[in-house]
A = this chain, B = another copy of it.
């Protein structure tokens, strides 16, 4: 119990799931950004590299769909990754509208570094929760998110 709680959060906000999610995400995002910045990356780039590592070479549109990133933002992120030699962009001979994006060896190494940095962020973020609670939170958010994705197509 605080004695002089001069700055409590209004109950309407504190009890509102939408507010909890968006507000928590501000903090989560900052932690993630800092971790990525320390490794010269942004979260879009991590997402794209993760998709490439798991699904192999893909078109930009496919990457965007898998990661929930807009096509136009994929362009910019891929430009950046290409400049750093973390991915390669080559025209797809089978469909000349498309580019095939491929993770380079350097990209794989960078991804491994970022994985580690991100793992540390989860630890910071979820410090007050034990393993079972973390799994619960993950499961609940997954269901909420999947529902939203279903609505949004």
Contacts and interface: CB of A to CB of B under 8 A. Distances in A.
A113 interface: no
A22 B17 contact: no
A137 B17 contact: yes
B148 A27 contact: yes
Nearest to A152: B27
Copies in the complex: 2
B23 A68 contact: yes
Contact of A50 (B13, B21, B67, B125): B13
Given A10-B66, A13-B47, A129-B144, A25 B22 contact: yes
Contacts of A128: 143-144, 146-147
A12 B43 CA distance: 12
Interface of A: 6-29, 31-32, 43, 47, 50-51, 53-55, 62, 65-68, 115, 118, 121-122, 125-129, 133-134, 136-138, 140-149, 152
A-B complex: 8 closest residue pairs judged by Cβ atoms: A25-B25, A27-B148, A20-B141, A7-B65, A12-B50, A10-B50, A128-B147, A137-B140
28 contacts: A7-B62, A7-B66, A10-B50, A10-B54, A12-B54, A12-B115, A13-B51, A14-B142, A17-B28, A17-B125, A18-B28, A18-B29, A18-B31, A20-B142, A21-B21, A21-B28, A22-B25, A22-B43, A24-B141, A24-B144, A24-B148, A27-B145, A27-B152, A128-B144, A128-B147, A137-B137, A137-B140, A137-B141
